[in-house]
Amino acid sequence: MLGRILLGCAVVVAIALAVLTGPAQSQREGWDSQRVRMVRQQIEARGVRDPRVLEAMRTVRREQFVPESIRTYAASDSPLPIGFEQTISQPYIVAYMTEMLALDSDHRVLEIGTGSGYQTAVLATLCDHVYSIEIVPELAERSAKILQELDYRNVSVRLGDGYLGWPEHAPYDRIIVTAAPPQLPQALVDQLATQGRLVAPVGRNPDAQKIVLVTKDARGNVRQQDQLPVRFVPMVRGTDRR
């Protein structure tokens, strides 16, 4: 049975930010300019239009969520390995899926697959609170630590099985899944609020996956629409890690 570790940034003590001077300041400015260029060339140019999403992509420091050994590629238009057979998603896909959620500042969001914590940080910039579940213990601990150090206080990270969701805090205004199940877990659909949106990659075959958008109307009727073809790592069940 998987254990639970609540490493939520909502309960951590705020970390004092160091003052950047000299070479550190120059390096920070370099990363900032690379992110601005990344958003303009890789994201905005490919059709993402929501100004809040674009600003979040410019603001969230992707380089902080990438392993130091490959940090020079942080602004590249590609997924990158983060260990444990997992990846940090391509910036365009992060922006695309985030825009599809149509987030408001008062929304509560369930994220399945914390991974590096990068998508989590983007969501946290745009909504009231993010409840994020990660099945790999080392990633859950590492991403929670990074989010804590970067002072994202409206995030709770839990070690657990994403197929089960996080029923204690349901229903959620929005749900996002960052690994691909063969079929959408019914538990996640059940935990979606009325008038809610769920965005997920779905498909057993990596060469035939699609992002799907699930909406639930005021009467609880569910509609699913196929969107962009993608290639994600598979979503792992809790039983697969025993």
89 is catalytic: yes
Q: Beta strands 172-177 and 192-202: pairing type?
A: parallel
Closest-CA residue to 152 (of 161, 162, 143, 160): 143
Out of 26, 89, 132, 143, which one is annotated catalytic? Answer: 89
Dihedral sign, Cα of residue 144, residue 130, residue 192, residue 97: negative
CA distance 191 to 186: 9
Bridge partners, 212 (sequence order): 200, 226
The alpha carbon dihedral of 174, 127, 119, 12 has a sign of negative
Catalytic residues: 89
